[in-house]
Amino acid sequence: MKIFDNKQNLSNYLNELRNNGKSIGFVPTMGALHQGHLSLLAQSQQQTDVSVCSIFVNPTQFNDPKDLEKYPRPIESDIQKLEQAGCDILFNPEVNEMYAGNEQWHLDLDELEALLEGKFRPGHYQGVTQVVFKLFDIVKPDMAFFGQKDYQQVLVIQKMIDLLHLPVKLVMCPILRETDGLAMSSRNIHLSADDRKHALVLSRTLNWLKQNFDLSQIASLTKQCEDFIKAEPGVQLEYFEVANGKNLRNADQGSKQIVALVAAKVGNTRLIDNMIIRD
């Protein structure tokens, strides 16, 4: 695996590969890699000739400086995982390589920015689109692979691609779960043993909804799901929504694709999860 920390060097190298007819797949991450990230890499390896992974903890998408500070950064272990998984290229830049001084960025994401995660983390998606645009500009991938666990983020990135007419195909890859159902996340390492048990209420509730789903009962089903989660010790619910999978507005009779999304604090750790109820 080749490792770059300089964007110009990476760009030059990828241009050579592109000129030789190679297609480029890209998996952007913030590190602390787990099997979920590696499943994105596996998708890239199946669908493109060269797979690039980036590890960059992006400061502009954190609302809370403490959250940024405590974000796990096990770079040696991450490199080892990527090498074992057969990744071709790692881009691991410093902050000053990605940002020069006081940069301004604003993309009109419309209501998508104000719903769900956007409501609880104002400005978050401006930071996400800012860094993903920079990374796309450096890597110029044919395909980019993002995880379904950040469902809203996938919609936001697709909106950016559409607005800016970027020549990249976005692929959403399924959530990977632990054997007990917990969605894999870099944040799971912060959960105590008790927290981890309580966190299972999120996937349990999503599964229950999928099994009992009835389009005419959305309001009462949502209320039941909220009650399940609120009854779990040590879990503080932020939102539970049954939404139109295309735009995250409230699902209704006309929604062809339906997704349920949840966010909660378990102990001191904020977790998100979702499940596609109808595709």
What is the Cα gyration radius of the chain? 19
Give me the residues of the chain with pLDDT under 70, please: none
123: left (phi over 0), alpha (psi -120 to 50) or beta: left
Output the pLDDT for position 70.
85
Catalytic-role residue among 37, 106, 165, 198: 37
Output the pLDDT for position 161.
98
- When the pLDDT of each residue in the chain is averaged and rounded to a whole number, the result is 96
What is the Cα–Cα distance from 59 to 67, expressed in whole angstroms? Answer: 10
pTM of the model: 0.96
Q: Is 106 a catalytic residue?
A: no
Q: Which residues contact 128 (CB under 8 A, 6 or more apart)?
A: 58, 61, 153, 156, 157
Output the pLDDT for position 61.
94
What is the Cα–Cα distance from 228 to 198, expressed in whole angstroms? Answer: 11
Output the pLDDT for position 147.
98
Output the pLDDT for position 140.
98
**DSSP code, position 232:** S
Domains of the chain: 2-173 (3.40.50.620), 186-278 (3.30.1300.10)
Q: Do residues 170 and 241 touch, judged by C-beta distance below 8 A?
A: no
Output the pLDDT for position 53.
98
Name the percent of the chain in helix, strand, coil, to the closest 5: 45, 20, 30
What is the Cα–Cα distance from 151 to 273, expressed in whole angstroms? Answer: 9
Output the pLDDT for position 63.
85
pLDDT digits (tens, 9 = 90+) for 104-144: 999 999 999 999 999 999 999 999 999 999 999 999 999 99
Joined together, the tokens standing for residue 18 give: 């592109």
